[in-house]
Structures are given as C-alpha cells and as structure tokens.
Structure 1
Amino acid sequence: LIRAFQWLVCYYFDATYKRVEDLRREGKSQFVIRNESQTFFARSLSLVYAE
C-alpha cells in the first residue's frame, strides 16, 4: 500500500511539473500557471501526499 502511495505521489509530482512547464512554454503569466496547475494537478498531489 505504501508503494502505491509513493508511486501516486511521484506520478502527480511529475504531471504537475510537466503542466507548469507546458504553461510556461505557452507564455502564460505566473498567476495563470499557478492557478491552472493547482486546480488540476497540485490538488490531487496534495491529497495523495496527505494520505
């Protein structure tokens, strides 16, 4: 069970990082980057990490 949570944390961390980088490449503002990455990816990452 712990391995599964570790995998999920790594997966969501990687997905969040990639989303932030994609938004940067698109030229989005820092506000938009933070807003979109937190809404879609960082929230899931924090929930998995908290478990």
Structure 2
Amino acid sequence: MMKGGDIMTLNILFMTITIKRKQQTYEQFMHDQLTEQIIEESKHKQVSLGDFTRNTF
C-alpha cells in the first residue's frame, strides 16, 4: 500500500509514467476516518438487525 508522498514509476516501451500520491491534509484525513467509521457502524447495524436485502432474479 502506498503512503502519502510515495512515488511509483512505470517504464513502458519508450514512455515513462510517474505517479506521485498527493499528501492529505489533516482535515481530509479526519473526514476519511469519520466516513469509514460511519460505514462500519452502518454495516454492524445492518447485521444486528438482520437486514440482508439482496437482489434476487
């Protein structure tokens, strides 16, 4: 898994593609953490309530 600031370089034939991951701000990091926490809580709530609605064709 790439961490912030890691650089990945791919050499394909005569082209070089360099990808540099953008550094996250503290606010972005906290927003992502809160979003992840809310999603996990929602999953646990669905499991505890037995809400397993699925598309059946």
Q: Higher helix fraction: Structure 1 or Structure 2?
A: 1
TM-score, length basis structure 2:
0.49
* Deviation string, structure 1 residues 2-44 (Cα, Å, up to 9, x no partner): 0000000000000000001001100011638xxxxxxxxxxxx
CA RMSD of aligned residues (A): 2.2
Matches within 5 A, 1:30-41: 31=54
CA distance in 1, matches of 2:29, 2:36: 11
Give the percent of matched residue pairs that are identical in Structure 1 and Structure 2: 3
Question: Would you identify which runs of 4 or more consecutive aligned residues in structure 1 move more than 6 Å?
Answer: none
Query: Matched residues in 1 for 2:51 and 2:39: separation?
Result: 15
Give the number of the structure whose residues are more often strand, by fraction.
2
Gaps of 5+ in 1: 33-51
Which of the pair has more CA radius of gyration? 2
Please name the residue that 1:15 is paired with. 38
Relative contact order (alpha carbons < 8 A, sep ≥ 6): 1 or 2 greater? 1
> Normalising to structure 1: TM-score of the pair?
0.55
